[in-house]
Structure 1
Amino acid sequence: MAHAPQTTFAPIGDILAHQILPRLRLAAKLPLRITCIGTARYAGTDEADSFDRSVFLGDRPSLENATSFAAVSVRRGGIGVGQDKTLRFHPRFAVIQDNDQNLVLAGEIRAGIILWQQPVASDGEARRIVIEASRLRGLAFAASGRGEQGAARNHRHQVGLLEARLVDPFWREAAADLLRLPQAA
């Protein structure tokens, strides 16, 4: 009587490496923090009097939950910047960061909808984006020095769009997979 080899048991090293350690790493990076970045100004003032501002929206336990929460918060509108009722906030970007403040996902806000940016696919692509963002920051600085605040703000906005793709390597695959789902579009 010959025994057939057992194929239903995985070696403990494989279980640790492929199941337990990834879950522990993920748990250490949670909860995810959702923030809106935009411009604020007091009622009755010009666009030239506006200033950049970040507004914390909340923490969520998963990437799917964070994107849903961000979408609902932006769609409802009326994101406030505090107790001052005369201060108006115009959100430009939604940002999701992990517990270590690494970028998980970011997107531009247009007409109450978040257009999530596709994460970079490689470190080489990330380097190219950093170089282009640095060039645009220089243009923004020069425009600001000439008193062209609108042009400077547009350059900074373009920097934000580029940097929204600089997702931390730990999150790149999960973020890209989420954006491939039909409901994320």
Structure 2
Amino acid sequence: MSLSRQNAFAPIGEIVAQQVLPWLRHAQKLPLRISCIGIASYDESDHVDGFDRRLVIGQCLSPEEAMTIASQRVARGDFRISPDDAPRFRPRVMVIQDRELGLVLAGEIRGGIVLWQHPVASDTEARRVVIEASRLRGMAFTASGRGDAATARDLRYRASLLEARLIDPFWRETAAELLRLPQAA
């Protein structure tokens, strides 16, 4: 009678390398910070007196929980800058970052939902996104220099949406898996 090696115990080095170390690397990047980039203004028109603003929404311990919290806040329109609601805030981009400020997931806010952006698939694609976003930011700088604040803001917004795909390499696979789930659609 021979013993089967399939049911044998795994070597401790294999357990550490495949289970413990990935968990420790993941734990070092927590908690995740949820924030929203938008336009704050003192009247209904955000083109005249509006200014870009980032609101910190909260923290959590998993990307799934962060997506849920972000989506709930957007659905409720729950964005307060101050207790008296002045200035007003129009959310544009939801951002989830890890402790080291690595991008975990980001998405455009439209029609009361978050349209999460799919991560870049490779470093080559990431370079193309960076080049295009830099070009848009350069155009925004030029527009701002000539006093066209509305065009500059729109160009910066378009650049931000491109940059939303620049998920930190550590989180790319997790983000891609989350966006494949039916509830993320």
Alignment TM-score, normalising by the size of structure 2: 0.95
1:182 — aligned with what? 182
CA deviations 1:137-179 (Å, max 9, x no partner) are 1111111112222211111111001100000000000000000
The aligned amino acid for 1:154 is D
Per the alignment, residue 31 of structure 1 pairs with 31
Return the alpha-carbon distance in structure 1 between the equivalents of residues 176 and 66 of structure 2.
15
In structure 1, what residue type is equivalent to 2:5? Q
Name the amino acid aligned to 2:140. Answer: A
Identity %: 59
Aligned length: 184
User: What secondary structure does 1:57 align onto?
Assistant: strand
Question: What secondary structure, in the 3-state scheme, does the structure 2 residue paired with 1:49 have?
Answer: coil
Q: Separation in 2 of the partners of 1:110 and 1:93?
A: 9
Map of 1:13 onto structure 2: 13
What are the superposed Cα offsets for residues 10-40 of structure 1, whole Å, 9 maximum, x if unpaired? 1212111111110111111111110001010
Is 2:139 aligned against 1:139?
yes
After superposition, what is the alpha-carbon deviation per residue over 1:101-120, rounded to whole angstroms, capped at 9, x for unaligned? 11000000012110000001
Aligned to 2:69: 69
- Shift in alpha-carbon separation, 1:44–1:173, aligned structure 2, 3 A: closer
- CA separation in 1, counterparts of 2:40 and 2:17? 47
Match of 1:4 in 2: 3
Tell me how large the CA RMSD over aligned residues is.
1.3
Gapped runs of 5+ residues in structure 1?
none
Q: Give the match's secondary structure for 2:70.
A: helix
> Deviation of residue 45 (structure 1)?
6.0
Tell me the TM-score normalised to structure 1 length: 0.95
Report deviation, 1:65.
Answer: 0.5
Cα distance change on mapping 1:172 and 1:148 into 2, 3 Å: same
Structure 2: which 5+ residue stretches go unaligned? none
Deviation, structure 1 residue 67: 0.2
